[in-house]
Structure 1
Amino acid sequence: MTPDGPDALHAEVLGERRHLTSLAFRMLGTVAEAEDAVQETYIRWYRLSQQDRDAIVVPRAWLTRVASRVCLNVLDSARRRRERYVGPWLPEPVPAYAFPAGSDATQDPLERVTLDDSISTALLVVLESMTPAERVAFVLHDVFALPFGEIAEIVGRTPAACRQLATSARRRVQQSTSRRVPRAEHDEVVRAFAGAARAGDIAGLIAVLDPAVVLRSDGGGIVSAARNPIVGRDKVARFLFGALRKNPSVVVLEQETPDGLGFAWWDEGRIIGIVTLDVVAGLVADVRLMMNPGKLTLWN
């Protein structure tokens, strides 16, 4: 085949998988849902006639548009599914590192998710509070730099309306991120948190928790986890110590995450939990504990 023949087009289309998974993950919050959305996008591409495919000048633009519409449909139904979810629903935490040079990551979804601050669990939690249209407009414009004219075609609104959606979403993100401390301060507070937890020092742990701290644990109904958010530093500290006492074989180690320093809970050579934290004004304000094995596949 010539360089611009069907084989080249096939390779170009498949080469967009990383871009599409990266986009879908930010819109949907789990790798499994993102993978399903990308798969559906490719199914729709290959259902086109050869003539229709040949008429598409920029395959990436077509794939992005279709993947975004698929994600928008998923988001419309996701709220109803998450109302039936057992306990708090949290976005899937992902590792903060890429594969080492020379590793074969082409079949692993982690390699296809661009790892930066826009996939922090804290940001994904904020995105969960948005309407589906707000989330899609924000991700497409602020993260992937699509013009509002193209976004309008995807969400079925005018460009001006899409600009308003993105502005509203951006305001929510800025309100959330403006409260957080620099990375060095975040990690210092987290290490103090860890030191108190390891020493069994409940007073020391309480001292680094915000009075209104909230802990959410996601077990998905698969493993034991708190069914409701835990609020207040005394209750959060006692919950954490109680959880560790009930699992004496668990080893808690510091772990880099897109949210900054966090923790991994190890048991018999596997990670069974990932903890990410938000630090505000020198104190831990939010603790997110992911225990759902379906959302920990990238860690093992």
Structure 2
Amino acid sequence: MSTDTLTDVFEEHRPVLTGVAYRMLGRAADAEDVVQEAWLRWSARAADGAAAVAEVREPRAYLVRITARLAIDRLRQIRSRRESYVGPWLPEPIVTDFAATPSDPGERTILAESVSFAVLVVLESLSPLERAVFVLREAFGFPHAEIANTLDRSEAAVRQLAVRARQRVDERKPRYRANPDECRDLTERFLAAASGGDLEDLLGLLAPGVRLVGDSGGKSKAPLRVMVGADKVGRFLLAVGQTPVPAAEYQINEINGAPGIVLRSAGKPDTVVQLEIADGLVQCIYIVRNPDKFAAITSL
């Protein structure tokens, strides 16, 4: 297999590898580093000769195995970094376009859910192995036997990890997910009410027990604790919405599988907001303001 062919094979599978790494790590930069390391290991086989390349009968499985193992190692390394994080931690926002994914609606829904803020936050509570099994099984549909080979575990052990991870995610993730049109409509109404200073309209969109989770990493202004309650959250949002922002510009884009609000200040990302919606109301508001987490949305 020539170097060009090796590159073509890797690029063919890059979206899957990036998807696995991001869902494992919750940060685009870490995912890119892992995928780059996987490429270096893949290309190194060419240097070992034709025989070494020929040993790879299933490139996709081989590359996913490398990526998953590297992601597990990286996740173990960054766990301590997150334990000392200032305030709540949220995933790094990424631009998605699952509506254009050439697959059936059921597959698109699974992909969108697996990259949502709500699920990625829950995945933080899993062990690295549980997280790897969940991502490979639930998001990408890998058979238990293939996951066992990837993680160098028995199939029985992988099945146990899969059950445990699924149970923990089901216990904490939202039970109902609004359809894309409803999410888009409510996101637009939320933006209009919050930026327009209409408390009555805003409170009409919020569930009584709505939660607000802000992630600034201590590098900008955001609540250091989770806020709970429609009145408290609504008044906070209005106060923030009335704060002058230089050359403010709002966009609604598909962020992490659902409509998200991107606020730019003088052309640069300042805030990303995503809503968790169920029963026609906003159940949770995720606000990312850590400037280190905007690299993946700067091209919007």
* TM-score, structure 2 as length reference: 0.83
- Could you give the per-residue CA deviations for residues 247-280 of structure 1, whole angstroms, max 9, x where no partner exists? 3433444333344333121211233111000112
Rounded Cα–Cα distance in structure 2 between residues aligned with 1:119 and 1:152: 23
1:95 CA displacement: 1.8
Cα 1:185–1:132 shift into 2, 3 Å: same
Q: Is residue 144 from structure 1 mapped to residue 153 from structure 2 by the alignment?
A: no
Structure 1 runs not aligned, ≥5 long: 101-114
What residue identity is the alignment partner of 2:297?
Answer: W
Rounded Cα–Cα distance in structure 2 between residues aligned with 1:142 and 1:285: 24
Map of 1:264 onto structure 2: 262
What residue identity is the alignment partner of 1:272?
Answer: D
- Could you give the per-residue CA deviations for residues 108-160 of structure 1, whole angstroms, max 9, x where no partner exists? xxxxxxx7443222222222232211110111122222222222233343212
Cα 1:205–1:5 shift into 2, 3 Å: closer
The answer to whether the Cα contact below 8 Å between 2:72 and 2:129 also exists between their aligned partners in 1 is yes
What residue identity is the alignment partner of 1:139?
Answer: V
What residue identity is the alignment partner of 1:119?
Answer: V
* TM-score, structure 1 as length reference: 0.83
Cα 1:180–1:116 shift into 2, 3 Å: closer
The answer to whether the Cα contact below 8 Å between 1:151 and 1:162 also exists between their aligned partners in 2 is yes
Cα 1:190–1:52 shift into 2, 3 Å: same
- Could you give the per-residue CA deviations for residues 6-37 of structure 1, whole angstroms, max 9, x where no partner exists? 54234323443332112211111111000111
1:70-219 aligned at under 5 Å gives the runs 70-97=70-97, 116-174=112-170, 176-219=173-216
The answer to whether the Cα contact below 8 Å between 1:122 and 1:259 also exists between their aligned partners in 2 is no
Q: Is residue 23 from structure 1 mapped to residue 23 from structure 2 by the alignment?
A: no
Q: Is residue 280 from structure 1 mapped to residue 278 from structure 2 by the alignment?
A: yes
What residue identity is the alignment partner of 2:278?
Answer: V
Cα 1:259–1:21 shift into 2, 3 Å: closer
The answer to whether the Cα contact below 8 Å between 2:148 and 2:158 also exists between their aligned partners in 1 is yes
Equivalent position SS for 1:40: helix
1:29-68 aligned at under 5 Å gives the runs 29-48=26-45, 49-50=48-49, 51-68=51-68
The answer to whether the Cα contact below 8 Å between 2:195 and 2:238 also exists between their aligned partners in 1 is no
Cα 1:67–1:256 shift into 2, 3 Å: closer
What residue identity is the alignment partner of 2:213?
Answer: R
Cα 1:14–1:97 shift into 2, 3 Å: closer
Q: How many residues align?
A: 283
What residue identity is the alignment partner of 1:183?
Answer: P
Map of 1:110 onto structure 2: none
Rounded Cα–Cα distance in structure 1 between residues aligned with 2:120 and 2:289: 17
Map of 2:220 onto structure 1: 223
The answer to whether the Cα contact below 8 Å between 2:262 and 2:272 also exists between their aligned partners in 1 is yes
What residue identity is the alignment partner of 1:92?
Answer: E
What residue identity is the alignment partner of 1:193?
Answer: F
Rounded Cα–Cα distance in structure 2 between residues aligned with 1:219 and 1:269: 19
Bigger drift between 33-42 and 55-64 goes to: 55-64
Rounded Cα–Cα distance in structure 2 between residues aligned with 1:10 and 1:193: 45
Rounded Cα–Cα distance in structure 1 between residues aligned with 2:258 and 2:6: 40
Rounded Cα–Cα distance in structure 2 between residues aligned with 1:261 and 1:281: 17
Rounded Cα–Cα distance in structure 2 between residues aligned with 1:283 and 1:75: 34
Equivalent position SS for 1:276: strand
The answer to whether the Cα contact below 8 Å between 1:259 and 1:276 also exists between their aligned partners in 2 is no
Rounded Cα–Cα distance in structure 2 between residues aligned with 1:283 and 1:129: 26
Equivalent position SS for 1:224: coil
